[in-house]
Chain A
Amino acid sequence: SQTIHQWPATLVQPVGSPLSLECTVEGTSNPNLYWYRQAAGRGLQLLFYSVGIGQISSEVPQNLSASRPQDRQFILSSKKLLLSDSGFYLCAWRFVGSGANVLTFGAGSRLTVL
């Protein structure tokens, strides 16, 4: 069966510090991968998605970047965090070829920038 892992689960970072959030998927090949963010009390905002290694599409201009160095690994990064980067970051995957387009989400990484 397929599983998705995100880490760290929670982190507190000072403004101006770097960020690296990791997401890995097991049990599937060539998935589509997604990063979403949910600010406190707000809806889900799509940040990045990837259809293959090294292929990244950015939905919102911001202080963040994403990379996909391996087929089942998706990394969200920042060189210098802003207060507004605080939020709940969710990685998701979708099996390519599935007509239902069902997304499976990880447990999330909660980031607090102070």
Chain B
Amino acid sequence: DAKTTQPNSMESNEEEPVHLPCNHSTISGTDYIHWYRQLPSQGPEYVIHGLTSNVNNRMASLAIAEDRKSSTLILHRATLRDAAVYYCILRPTYSGNTPLVFGKGTRLSVIA
């Protein structure tokens, strides 16, 4: 899998938007950008994914740079329950059975 770079940690105030960056300068044209998050003492959960266009779902928004070399996961209003480790992962469109490889992610702290 192509490499991604994320900050080790970030902090946000409750009720404010959070922008979690991810750099992936070696991304190929067929790589999807996936985001997962891991709440304390739980398994990771899928958040969102995209290829070229920005994406929105009930959990978050994904903003993808025009050159696709970076992306940003946006939590519109952080809550205490959003405190987690957020992982940005690249996956080829036709990846067959190749498993997802998780990096270290960004640990998000939310302050009340």
Interface residues of A (CB under 8 A from B): 32, 34, 36, 43-44, 46, 49, 51, 59, 88, 90, 92, 96, 99-108, 110
What's the nearest-Cβ distance from chain A to residue B88, in Å?
13
Name the residue in B95, B99, B104 with the highest tally of chain A Cβ atoms < 10 Å from its Cβ: B99
Q: How far is it, in angstroms, between the C-alpha of A46 and the C-alpha of B44 when the chains are bound?
A: 13
Q: Is the CB of A103 within 8 A of B42?
A: no
Q: How far is it, in angstroms, between the C-alpha of A36 and the C-alpha of B101 when the chains are bound?
A: 10
9 nearest interchain CB pairs?
A105-B43, A44-B102, A90-B43, A51-B97, A49-B99, A102-B46, A43-B104, A101-B91, A108-B43
Which residues of chain B have C-beta atoms less than 8 A from A36's C-beta? Answer: 102
In terms of DSSP, what is the predominant structure of the interface of chain A? strand
Number of A-B contacts (CB under 8 A): 51
Q: Is the CB of A101 within 8 A of B102?
A: no
Q: A43-B102, A49-B99, A99-B93 are in contact. List 8 more A-B contacts (CB 8 A).
A: A34-B99, A46-B101, A100-B32, A100-B34, A100-B49, A101-B91, A101-B95, A108-B42
Q: How far is it, in angstroms, between the C-alpha of A59 and the C-alpha of B28 when the chains are bound?
A: 24
Interface residues of B (CB under 8 A from A): 32, 34, 36, 38, 41-46, 49, 91, 93, 95, 97, 99-105
Which residues of chain B have C-beta atoms less than 8 A from A96's C-beta? Answer: 97
Which residues of chain A have C-beta atoms less than 8 A from B103's C-beta? Answer: 43
Pairs across A and B, CB under 8 Å, 19 listed:
A32-B97, A36-B102, A43-B102, A43-B103, A44-B102, A46-B102, A51-B97, A90-B43, A92-B43, A99-B93, A100-B49, A101-B91, A101-B95, A101-B100, A102-B46, A103-B44, A104-B46, A105-B45, A108-B43
Which residues of chain A have C-beta atoms less than 8 A from B95's C-beta? Answer: 101
B105's nearest neighbour on chain A, judged by CB, is A43
What's the nearest-Cβ distance from chain A to residue B4, in Å?
13
A104's nearest neighbour on chain B, judged by CB, is B46
Q: How far is it, in angstroms, between the C-alpha of A106 and the C-alpha of B43 when the chains are bound?
A: 6
